[in-house]
Structure 1
Amino acid sequence: MNRLVSRAIEEFLRSTYGEELVQELDGTPEAEAGVTDPARIDVSGLSRAGCRLSKPLSEMLEDMGGWMTRIEPIRRLLRFSGRDFKDFLLRLDELPGRANLVLPTLPVPRLQVRTSERGVQVMIIDPDPKSAWQFLLVGLIRGMADDYGALCLIAIDEVSIRIDIWDEQFAEGRLFSLEGASVMLGTT
């Protein structure tokens, strides 16, 4: 599993920042040490790249989450979660189970999605001080909001992500095809 995560990080860095950065990071002492701590491996490549690019790790993780939504097979799997953005958010608590069907050893934290009295979606994440999931999920939510054409404000604190949807049909969403039938986002 660590190899798969490392490969995903490498592909993100390559497609976003270029082959030169990946080659430069491959020669660092940390990369050559063969670190085996799963909590460290998950973000070590992003951390080193962030240092080189003068970007905080949280921003690198958020960017990687957004990048993942542009990979068509991942995007398609995420789009099966809901016909509109709000429906997608309400079903995000199913994400850990779905991820573990594909990668049983992937340590995805438990998620709880709640709707406040003002209609704001709040995602509560099992707290883990070493977890990178919160920032990765923010990027993923941001990318899917764009995919659905929704305008929202996303804010984070220690254990939750708050999504305030201002307009679910702010922009035209990307086409999504299910069994040969094209469906525009926001239509039934």
Structure 2
Amino acid sequence: MNSLVNRAIEEFLRSTYGEVMVQAITDEAAVSVGRLAPAGAGFATAGLDRAAFRLAKPRAEMFEDMGGWMTRIEPIRRLLRFSGRDFRDFLLRLDELPGRAHLVLPDLIVPRLQVEATDQSVCLSMLEPDEAWQHLLVGLIRGMADDYGALCLIAADGSAIRIDIWDEQFAEGRMFCLQSDLLSDQVLS
């Protein structure tokens, strides 16, 4: 599982900041360990910490950026969009995220989530608080708000995330269809 997390962080850094950043962090990890590190070693959260230091960005912002980046990966985006017909429905089903993640990646430990909703806001509480997961989820929720075309304010508050929804149809959301283009082409012919 660590290699999968390392790979995801490495790809996030590579696609966002370039190969030079990835190589610099790999080199720093090798020096800190005192030996030559294999390709892709030295990442996990330490890789994000090193990148945050090099970029003079808060650690929390790096995790949020990674969460937003994940929503632009089409297979992940499709899995997330399958969770709700609109942004509010998506948010109300986030408590199912740990179970769904476990189906795909059994060794990945996602903190349990509790969702509470009012007319205009949704509060997502982490039952096992984890700052890294919290900020990753904030970025993921921001990315999905954009995907659905919703206007909202998202804020981390203690071990909770508060989402104030102002307009669910503020902008045109990205197109989403359960069937792939290949399948729809076959059905039409």
Instruction: Tell me if both proteins adopt one fold, taking TM over 0.5 as the criterion.
Output: yes
Query: Is the contact made by 1:50 and 1:60 (CA closer than 8 Å) also made in structure 2?
Result: yes
For 1:75, the aligned partner's letter is R
Match of 2:108 in 1: 106
Structure 1 residues without counterparts, runs of 5 or longer: 182-188
**Match in the other structure for 1:140:** 140
Structure 1 residue 119, shift from structure 2 partner? 2.9
Instruction: State the TM-score, normalizing by the size of structure 2.
Output: 0.87
Over the aligned positions, Cα root-mean-square deviation in angstroms equals 2.0
User: Once the two structures are superposed, what CA deviation does each residue of 1:106-161 show, in whole Å capped at 9, x if it has no partner?
Assistant: 11000011113x43100001243x54100000000000000000000001111100
Partner in structure 1 of residue 76 of structure 2: 74
Q: Which runs of 5+ in 2 are unaligned?
A: 182-189
Amino acid paired to 2:100 = R
Contact map agreement 1:151 1:165 (CA 8 A) in 2: yes
Count of aligned pairs between the two proteins: 175
Deviations 1:22-77 (A, max 9, x none): 01111014676399xxxx96411100000000001100000000000000000000
**AA in 2 matched with 1:135:** H
1:120 maps to 121
| CA distance 1:63–1:31, shift in 2 (3 Å) | farther
For the pair 1:17 / 2:17, whether they are aligned, the reply is yes
Cα distance in 2 for residues equivalent to 1:31 and 1:98: 38
Identity of aligned residues (%): 67
Match status 1:83 vs 2:85: yes
Greater gyration radius: 2
Tell me, yes or no, if the aligned pair for 2:63 and 2:132 is still in contact at 8 Å: yes
Q: For residues 41 and 29 of structure 1, what CA distance do their matches in structure 2 show?
A: 8
The separation in 2 between residues aligned to 1:89 and 1:149, in whole angstroms, is 14
Aligned to 2:187: none
Listed as ranges, the matches of 1:37-52 within 5 Å are 42-52=44-54
Q: Secondary structure at the match of 2:75?
A: helix
Moved over 3 A (4+): 29-32
